Amino acid sequence: MSLWLAVAATGCAVEPPSQPDGWDSAVALQSARDLDARPGVVEVDLTARVGDVEIVPGKKTPTWTYNGGLPGPLIRASVGDRVIVHFRNELSEPTTVHWHGVRLPAEMDGAPGHSQPETPPGGGFTYDFVVPDAGLYWYHPHVNSAVQEGNGLYGPLLVEDPDEPAELGDELVLVLSDISLRDDGSLEDPDAGGNLGTLFGREGDLLLVNGRVNPVIGARAGLRQRWRIVNAAKSRYYQLLITDHRFTRIGGDGGFLEHPVEEDRILLTPGERADVVVTPRGAPGSTLSVRWVPYDRGYGATFARPEVEAFRLRLADEPVVHDEPLPEVARTIEALDTTAARHVDLQLTREEDSDDVVMGINGVPSWKAEPLMAAVGETAVWTVENTMAFDHPFHLHGFFFQVLGADGQPVRPLAWKDTVNVPVDGSARFAVRYDNRPGMWMFHCHILDHAEAGMMGMLHVVR
Ligand code: C2O
Ligand code: CU
Ligand code: CU
Domain ranges of the chain: 19-160, 170-315, 342-462
CA nearest neighbour of 233 among 211, 254, 264? 211
CA nearest neighbour of 236 among 212, 202, 265, 261? 202
Please answer whether residues 66 and 48 qualify as being in contact, where contact means their C-beta atoms are separated by less than 8 angstroms. Answer: yes
Peptide bond preceding 413: is omega within 30 degrees of 0, i.e. cis? yes
- For 213-231, write each residue's pLDDT tens digit: 999 999 999 999 999 999 9
**Ligand index nearest the alpha carbon of residue 114:** 1
CB-based burial, 235-262: b 16+ in 10 Å, e otherwise: bbbbbbbbeebebbbbbbbbbbbbebee
Please answer whether residues 273 and 228 qualify as being in contact, where contact means their C-beta atoms are separated by less than 8 angstroms. Answer: yes
Q: Is the pLDDT of residue 8 over 90?
A: no
- For 259-297, write each residue's pLDDT tens digit: 999 999 999 999 999 999 999 999 999 999 999 999 999
CA pair distance 287, 20, nearest whole angstrom: 14
Share of the chain above pLDDT 90, in %: 88
**Ligand index nearest the alpha carbon of residue 101:** 2
The atom number, within ligand 1, closest to the CA of 142 reads 2
Query: What's residue 193's pLDDT?
Result: 86
CA pair distance 6, 377, nearest whole angstrom: 65
Give the residue-averaged pLDDT of 313-326.
Answer: 92
44 — pLDDT class (breaks 50, 70, 90): very high
From ligand 1's centre to the CA of 158, what distance in Å? 17
- For 333-353, write each residue's pLDDT tens digit: 999 999 999 999 999 999 987
Which residues does residue 263 pair with via DSSP β-bridges, in sequence order?
247
Query: What's residue 22's pLDDT?
Result: 97
Please answer whether residues 443 and 382 qualify as being in contact, where contact means their C-beta atoms are separated by less than 8 angstroms. Answer: no
- For 124-144, write each residue's pLDDT tens digit: 999 999 999 999 999 999 999
Bridging pattern class, strands 287-292 and 238-241: antiparallel
User: pTM to 2 decimals?
Assistant: 0.96
Q: Is the pLDDT of residue 1 over 50?
A: no
Residues within 5 A (CB) of ion ligand 2: 100, 397
CA pair distance 233, 150, nearest whole angstrom: 8
CA pair distance 402, 333, nearest whole angstrom: 10
From ligand 3's centre to the CA of 393, what distance in Å? 6
CA pair distance 245, 261, nearest whole angstrom: 14
Q: Is the pLDDT of residue 362 over 50?
A: yes
From ligand 1's centre to the CA of 236, what distance in Å? 15
Task: Give φ, ψ of 147 to 5 degrees.
Answer: -75, -50
Which residues does residue 311 pair with via DSSP β-bridges, in sequence order?
290
- For 377-424, write each residue's pLDDT tens digit: 999 999 999 999 999 999 999 999 999 999 999 999 999 999 999 999
CA pair distance 180, 192, nearest whole angstrom: 10
The atom number, within ligand 1, closest to the CA of 443 reads 2
Mean pLDDT (the chain, rounded): 94
Pick the CATH number of 342-462 from 1.20.120.80, 3.90.1580.10, 2.40.110.10, 2.60.40.420: 2.60.40.420
From ligand 1's centre to the CA of 98, what distance in Å? 7
18 — pLDDT class (breaks 50, 70, 90): very high
Query: What's residue 353's pLDDT?
Result: 77
**Ligand index nearest the alpha carbon of residue 398:** 2
CB-based burial, 413-444: b 16+ in 10 Å, e otherwise: bbbbbbbbbbebeebbbbbbbbeebbbbbbbb
**Ligand index nearest the alpha carbon of residue 232:** 1
The atom number, within ligand 1, closest to the CA of 456 reads 2
From ligand 3's centre to the CA of 390, what distance in Å? 7
User: Closest residue (by CA) to atom 3 of ligand 1?
Assistant: 100
Question: How many C-beta atoms lie closer than 10 Å to residue 364's C-beta?
Answer: 14
From ligand 1's centre to the CA of 418, what distance in Å? 9
From ligand 2's centre to the CA of 4, what distance in Å? 53
CATH code 3.30.40.10 for 170-315: no
Query: What's residue 114's pLDDT?
Result: 81
- For 77-95, write each residue's pLDDT tens digit: 999 999 999 999 999 999 9
Please answer whether residues 90 and 122 qualify as being in contact, where contact means their C-beta atoms are separated by less than 8 angstroms. Answer: yes
- Three-state secondary structure readout of the chain: CCHHHHHHHHCCCCCCCCCCCCCCHHHCCCECCCCCCCCCEEEEEEEEEEEEECCCCCCCEEEEEECCECCCCEEEEECCCEEEEEEEECCCCCECCEEECCCCCHHHCCCECCCECCECCCCEEEEEEECCCCEEEEEECCCCHHHHHHCCCCEEEEEECCCCCCCCCEEEEEEEEEECECCCCCECCCCCCHHHHHHHCCCCCEEEECCECCCEEEECCCCCEEEEEEECCCCCCEEEECCCCCEEEEEECCEEEEEEEEECCEEECCCCEEEEEECCCCCCCCEEEEEECCCCCECCHHHHCCCEEEEEEEECCCCCCCCCCCCCCCCCCCCCCCCCCEEEEEEEEEECCCCCCEEEECCECHHHCCCEEEECCCEEEEEEEECCCECEEEEECCCCEEEECCCCCECCCCCCECEEEECCCCEEEEEEECCCCCEEEEEEECCHHHHHCCCEEEEEEEC
Residues with CB under 6 A from ligand 1: 98, 100, 140, 142, 271, 395, 397, 442, 444, 446
Please answer whether residues 257 and 250 qualify as being in contact, where contact means their C-beta atoms are separated by less than 8 angstroms. Answer: yes
Q: Is the pLDDT of residue 192 over 60?
A: yes
| Superfamily name with CATH number, domain 19-160 | Cupredoxins -  blue copper proteins (2.60.40.420)
Query: What's residue 49's pLDDT?
Result: 98
300 — pLDDT class (breaks 50, 70, 90): confident
CA pair distance 456, 145, nearest whole angstrom: 12
Query: What's residue 6's pLDDT?
Result: 40
Q: What's the distance, CA 220 to chain centroid?
A: 27
170-315 matches 19-160 in CATH topology: yes
